[in-house]
Structure 1
């Protein structure tokens, strides 16, 4: 079972059986001739992003933006996760107890995903804590030289 969302407003389900019965012939690269309800339809795939499962399709001179989700995508969404969605991490907590050796950011600073934020020493190893997403630092709950327990709040994002 596939779920299709067209132009971010129309949603419908498509079964594998319906896909198998589709009368479509590729006439050239990304161009198809389709017979639907005894009518001839010309379709062209203008853009495709296989990772995000998004497609821009031109059908009889009308362009449609389509998102296709298979059964696995639907199960992941039902669990509260989304593939390819923007990460919504709003705070960073200590992954283990340790000592804050260095803080590389300030409140109000804009950071990019994977920018180094601070260094946490644990078991004589330096662990660089990187930004999980793009964002702005709302607050820093620790100072250099502080010891922290596991799950202690370190940084909050706006």
Structure 2
């Protein structure tokens, strides 16, 4: 179960088993989705056709930017653990204790935007990881100082590999 919001609209509750079994706010979602490649999709929703493109996906912060029929939409997802931490007032405390940034998926490092010793704020771009022909901007999970960069430009990385350490 995920709670998804755009920051301006009310949040949606999404229960996702697979693309054929999705419910939105407790109601089955009547849709069909076809991957076109390169992060692009064709979506049929209640008889209406939509073009969708994943512009960027930050899996660490669960923020996704899409283009739906050419219009940019920014989404933020929270699972039940995120919601529990938020209710307990611990969402920022958990982020403050991060000592390293790990690769959320296998891919290729196509840009390094920080240097050791550089101060960063939560959300600042650190690296760009290309996976499945999509560029994913990996951002600082909390305020801190870059202690070391453990990868080089054009390195292939594995899921869970340490990319950046914080001082």
TM-score by length of 2: 0.47
TM-score (norm 1): 0.50
